[in-house]
Amino acid sequence: MPSPIDVQYARSGEVAIAYHVVGRGALDLVFAPGYVSHLTHVLENPDVSAFFERLASLGRLIRFDRRGIGLSDRPRDVPTLETRMDDIRAVMDAVRSRRAALIASGEAGAMAMLFAATYPERVAALVLWGPVARGVASEDYPIGESEAEWQQQLDEIEKGWGTRAFFEKQFAEVRGELVDDEATFEWYCETLRCAASPGAALTAHRMAMDVDVRAVLVAIRVPVLILHRPTMRTDAEYIADRISGARRVEVPGRASMFVGSGERTLDEIEHFLGTALGDAEPDTVLSTVLFTDIVGSTERAAALGDRRWRETLERHNAIVRQLLDSFGGREIDTAGDGFFSSFDGPARAIRCAVAISRSMQELELEIRSGLHTGECEIHGDKLAGIAVNLGARVAAKAGPGEVLVSSTVKDLVAGSGIEFEDRGEHELKGVPGEWRLFAVR
């Protein structure tokens, strides 16, 4: 790898994301690091440097530091999963990469899986190292860590980050496959210190804790390779069983993906990328669908009269379209006074629905809104399928002024600060099973 490397920045909203490009070839490879990273300092370890050198021999390698860590900006708020996903797109756009193989380590796996399901046309293949579908254990996901275990880790970071004692405990978990000398230990400590302040490390850990992408897995249609150590087997098996055609390979050892069987890891990646690249024109996509309509529109029209109601409806349509544009939504269809729209992120869709409802107060209109996130069939510029039907049924259950969402939407916006009230389980017409719905506060 060149030294010093040429670090550049991509704009993702108001945040600058540091990235580095090396190598060339027909295939782009985007590498998303897990937990904490530092574009330049990690290369001072010969094993890590050699790992990336070989990866760069396979094509154009694009590495970046996730927001909040390394050389990227450190925003004050904990970013949502969809916001972190946007950083991948921002980096790819900055380097003019239309389509790439996405390689993600550890905690970065969640945003990579969401990106692959949401933008399948931009992902040629997906490689995951030690991925996790959900951070905190629950009744229907007992393999996660308990809240008490997560809290203990957060407390240790807050009290000990940067100290030798803290890093020695972390280092002990991988010491068996690292060169056990003072120089390697110092590199390890300095990498973590450079990568994150205590606050940044806490934020990164909270992001990993809040993750829940279980509903996304069935919507991933690109070729997927899952690599993991024996200690990561349970999570890897859970994910592999739910992604159609996913290949799972267990790599011996207990260190990071860069050291201890690093060559085996690279062999698997090289073989996979040489044999499995996805379709550039997918027929399904993960999307959040939003349905809105005016409550009591017939009565309201009768009270206003034809001319005033037509003017009110035109103003309603203009406001909805303006807000869709502001929140990155796309109008799919309209019927009477209702809108069917799609978004590439559920938090944006919720905030748009709330903004629409509030904006209608000046027109003395009440709006009901329903949202669901799921795999949608692509038919030209239209979306179809069970996920669309489910979104429409959720909207039908909403009351005046209410924004109602499925449990899938609620799980995907964990950590966003959006609060919900449980509305219980419901049968939705034409959709099998019972669905738990939540109202946005």
**Per-residue pLDDT tens digits for 156-212:** 999 988 888 887 777 665 555 454 567 777 888 888 889 999 889 988 888 889 999
Domain 284-440 sits in CATH 3.40.50.300: no
d(CA 265, CA 205) in angstroms, rounded, equals 25
Q: Does residue 411 surpass a pLDDT of 80?
A: yes
Split at pLDDT 50, 70, 90, the class of 261 is low
Decide if 188 contacts 175 (C-beta within 8 A): no
What is the pTM (predicted TM-score) of this model? 0.91
Could you tell me the sign of the dihedral formed by the alpha carbons of 192, 197, 203, 206, in that order?
Answer: positive
pLDDT at 238: 97
Which among 132, 127, 117, 110 is positioned nearest to 30, based on CA atoms?
127
pLDDT at 76: 78
Split at pLDDT 50, 70, 90, the class of 1 is very low
Of all helices (H) and strands (E), which one includes residue 18? strand 15-22
Residues 6+ apart with CB under 8 A from 161: 192, 196, 197, 198, 201
- Dihedral angle over CA of 202, 206, 208, 214, nearest 10: 180
d(CA 66, CA 34) in angstroms, rounded, equals 8
Strands 420-428 and 431-440: antiparallel
Which among 337, 344, 345 is positioned nearest to 369, based on CA atoms?
337
Residue with tokens 């934020």: 203
Split at pLDDT 50, 70, 90, the class of 78 is confident
Report helix, strand or coil for 300. Answer: helix
Could you tell me the sign of the dihedral formed by the alpha carbons of 236, 68, 115, 329, in that order?
Answer: positive
**Per-residue pLDDT tens digits for 115-166:** 999 999 999 999 999 999 999 999 999 999 999 999 999 999 999 888 888 8
- What does pLDDT average to over the chain? 90
More confident site: 263 or 378: 378
**Per-residue pLDDT tens digits for 320-372:** 999 999 999 999 999 888 999 999 999 999 999 999 999 999 999 999 999 99
Same fold flag, 8-275 and 284-440:
no
List, in sequence order, every beta strand (DSSP E) within 282-350. 284-294, 330-335, 338-343
Domain 8-275, CATH: 3.40.50.1820
Residues 6+ apart with CB under 8 A from 149: none
d(CA 104, CA 20) in angstroms, rounded, equals 16
Domain limits, the chain? 8-275, 284-440
Split at pLDDT 50, 70, 90, the class of 403 is very high
Structure-token pair, residue 65: 């530091």
Q: How would you class 426 by CB atoms within 10 Å of its CB: exposed for 0-12, middle for 13-18, buried for 19 or more?
A: middle
Q: Indicate the DSSP class of residue 4.
A: S
Decide if 324 contacts 341 (C-beta within 8 A): yes
DSSP assignment of 230-289 equals GGGHHHHHHHHHHSTT-EEEEPSSSS-SSSSSHHHHHHHHHHHHHH----SS-SEEEEEE
Which CA distances in Å does 440 have to 81, 274, 423?
Answer: 18, 46, 10
Split at pLDDT 50, 70, 90, the class of 255 is low
Residue with tokens 């969402």: 405
List, in sequence order, every beta strand (DSSP E) within 358-430. 367-379, 382-384, 403-406, 420-428
Which CA distances in Å does 325 have to 2, 69, 132, 231, 352?
Answer: 42, 30, 33, 45, 9
Long-range Cβ contacts of 293-297 (<8 Å, 24+ apart): 293/336, 293/337, 293/338, 293/339, 293/367, 293/368, 293/395, 294/337, 294/338, 294/360, 294/365, 294/366, 294/367, 295/365, 295/366, 295/367, 295/368, 295/400, 295/401, 296/366, 296/400, 297/336, 297/337
**Per-residue pLDDT tens digits for 209-239:** 999 999 999 999 999 999 999 989 999 999 9
Q: With pLDDT > 90 as the criterion, what percentage of the chain qualifies? A: 69
Beta bridge partner(s), residue 11: 16
